Amino acid sequence: MPSDVEPSAVAPYDALLLLSFGGPDGPDDVLPFLRNVTAGKNIPDERLAVVAEHYHHFGGASPINGQNQALQRALTDEIARRGLDLPVLWGNRNWMPYTRDALAAAYADGARRVVAVVTSAYSSYSGCRQYRENLWASLDELGPEFGLPAGEHPLVVDKVRSYFNHPGFVQANIDAVTEAFESIGRDARLVFVTHSIPDTMDAASEVSGASYRAQHLDVAATVAAAVEERLGRPLTWDLAYCSRSGPPSQPWLEPDVNDHLTALAADGVQAVVMSPIGFVSDHMEVAFDLDTEAMQTAAELGIVAVRADTVGVREPFVRGLVDLVLERAALARELGADPALLPQGDAPALEQATVGALPAFPSVCRPGCCRMREGVATGIPAACSADPLS
């Protein structure tokens, strides 16, 4: 077996946690799942009913769980290929297998320090802090279960940095968009798509180095430039959003992809490649909001549309995630085992591969990282930062 690194390259980690959103496995799961997702959120009942219908349209099961299992297998294979020893666990914030159960199993197997990879490439409350809050709450619950005094955690969990500008994630998107252009076989507008979030959440995301929107614009510019080079012709591109929820009175990032297609049609655009750079797999937002709804909008407008693949289990992406785990392990070794020693900011000198104009995002979240609103602490503790309440 070829091995590009020493087995000790994963130290101090005993396990890798693939941390994801979760989704229903069948019709009976849909409502309890939606209640988990929206607990304490200001989401109108009408919106929930509509989203429940999206799931029922697919037999009540989300594709996300199967996709995460495929990624878990791909990571396991890539880790073995490199001659490394690191079991890959899978846990979700909103559905079984839950984060706490995955961590409980890791602890029972003897793991004490775990590195997490979140299935969200971008930094925002939804893609960073909410996962870190879920980790902290899970660790809090597990302490007493394993006989520790309340407030003591059985495990330390670190997370790899937001990887939107890591070469592996970006390369997999470049490949997918190039293939989509080859399949449409004609000149087409390139429309990048991501999940909309409230404007207030976007503003709060900026503390990590650049806002959620700016992170996407950076990736989009890099991908578009590389695809132009591969195709040998210039492209025009935009960033649009899908899956808005929340009350209509609350501003969210725009334009919505359907409105954007309508505007493009009015401008005479006849063909579009949609690239879902905001998502790592073809879960419900992609399967329904893009493949069902936006594709129907395009058809009604007479626009020929092709949807580029998400990164899924593409080789550059999977390889990149394992590179990020090794990067995080090197940082952990440099900083020592005590999370209290972690710096309140950037990583010390460490080789961190990036592409685009933005720097590598912090591996240890900065104070105020990815709050729901700028300057407003929720009082909910979050893992993977020097101060859980900051």
Ligand X SMILES: CC1=C(CCC(=O)O)c2cc3nc(cc4[nH]c(cc5[nH]c(cc1n2)c(C)c5CCC(=O)O)c(CCC(=O)O)c4C)C(CCC(=O)O)=C3C
β partners of residue 272:
189, 305
Nearest approach, Cβ of residue 183 and ligand X (Å):
24
CA 318 to chain centroid: 14
Give the Cα-Cα-Cα angle 331, 166, 127 (nearest 5 degrees): 85
Instruction: Find the shortest distance in angstroms from Cβ 121 to Fe ion.
Output: 13
Contacts with ligand X in 191-230 (CB under 6 A)?
195, 197
Query: Is there a cis peptide before residue 97, judged by omega within 30 degrees of 0?
Result: yes
Cβ count within 10 A of residue 1: 6
Q: Read off the amino acid at residue 281.
A: S
Least separation in angstroms between residue 385's CB and Fe ion is: 8
Stretch of 37-45, 103-111, 156-164, 260-268 lying at the interface with ligand X (CB under 6 A): 37-45
- Does residue 19 bind Fe ion (CB under 5 A)? no
Q: Which does 265 bind (CB under 5 to 8 A by kind): ligand X, Fe ion, none?
A: none
64 binds ligand X (CB under 6 A): yes
The residues near 128 (Cβ < 8 Å, ≥ 6 apart) are: 118, 120, 162, 205, 208, 365, 369, 370
Q: Does 339 bind ligand X (CB under 6 A)?
A: no
* Residue 34 near which of ligand X, Fe ion, none (CB within 5-8 Å, type-dependent): ligand X
Closest CA to 120 of 280, 357, 330, 271: 280
- Euclidean distance between CA atoms 79 and 75, whole angstroms: 6
Residue selected from 120, 162, 222, 275 as contacting ligand X according to rule CB under 6 A: 120
Among 9, 29, 91, 127, binds ligand X (CB under 6 A): 127
Q: Is 83 left (phi over 0), alpha (psi -120 to 50) or beta?
A: left
**Residues 102-131 within binding reach of Fe ion (CB under 5 A):** 128
Contact between 21 and ligand X by CB under 6 A: the answer reads: yes
Closer residue to ligand X, CB minimum distance, 23 or 320: 23
- Residues in region 128-187 near Fe ion by CB under 5 A: 128
Question: In the 8-state DSSP scheme, what is residue 149?
Answer: P
Task: Write out the binding residues for Fe ion, residues 338-377 only, by CB under 5 A.
Answer: 365, 369-370
DSSP string computed for 87-102? -EEEEESSSSSBHHHH
195 known ligand binder: yes
Residue number, 91 or 339, with CB nearest to ligand X: 91
Residues at the site binding ligand X, with contacts judged by CB under 6 A: 21, 23, 34, 37-38, 41, 43, 47, 51, 62-64, 119-120, 124, 126-127, 195, 197, 243, 245-246, 283-285
